[in-house]
Amino acid sequence: MGNGHLLGLVVFMLIVYIYSIQYYRGVYPQVFNDELVNSGIMKTGDIICFKAYDNFNSIFTGSYFGHIGVIYVDPAEPLKPYLFEANGIEAMKLKDHHNKSGIFFTPVQDRIAKYKGRCFYKELNKPLSSGVCSDFKSFIDYCLDTMSYDLAVVRASIKKWLGVEQCGHKTNCGELTFMCLIKMGLLPYEYHDERTLHFLKWMCNIKKLNNGYEYKELVHVIDHPFAE
């Protein structure tokens, strides 16, 4: 194979990669945002995966999804699920009551409606116990008070992979989701000590969990531009 053919093959493979990781939409079951929330099926431990329209991070990270968060549902308000997430805030305009550390706990319906991109619902196959949910809410409150978003995501990932540091108070969306799943008993605590390079990709793709729990297939959550 000549140099010209090799270059052509490399360019072709690069185009295929960019298309598949950035532009390919796939075929997923769909549900309207408001209908999903009002159905009452969302529960603590479910996940929302995000695919942005306004950046090309996926090309460089190798993960189709660029963001992730974990759902918490208060038993007293089953039709108002919240999303717990870590997010970079360096380019965001925030109101006074927003958490300036980059750790957020907001209603899922509002978060999806305002997101510039595609959102996907990843449902647990069965509910967690009330005790686990209560402990998880305490963990959320602790994180909101003590944790912050780490803007140096690549550097932090390399340190985790090399075993120089573990997931902790400076975090990002993938690492926070990982710690949430450990807190809820869905992943073994021993995983916290293992070397991992790409928490976001792992958490977006994970299916099998502890004690017979697993995540169902992704469902595309869509919004509509018209009034009710």
Residue 227 is predicted with a pLDDT of 55
d(CA 25, CA 27): 7
Length of the chain: 228
Q: Which residues contact 20 (CB under 8 A, 6 or more apart)?
A: none
Contact 67/43 with Cβ under 8 angstroms? no
* Strand 219-222, strand 117-122: pairing: antiparallel
List helix spans (H) across 40-96.
Answer: 57-61
pLDDT digits (tens, 9 = 90+) for 27-74: 899 999 999 999 999 999 999 999 988 777 787 777 889 999 999 999
Local confidence pLDDT in tens for the 228 residues of the chain: 667 778 888 888 888 888 888 888 888 999 999 999 999 999 999 999 999 887 777 877 778 899 999 999 999 999 999 999 999 877 667 777 777 789 999 999 999 999 989 999 999 999 999 999 999 999 999 999 999 999 888 888 888 888 888 899 999 999 999 999 999 999 999 999 888 888 999 999 999 999 999 999 999 999 876 655
> What are the residue boundaries of the structural domains of the chain, listed by start?
29-222
* Strand 117-122, strand 47-52: pairing: antiparallel
What is 29-222's CATH topology?
endopeptidase fold (from Nostoc punctiforme) (3.90.1720)
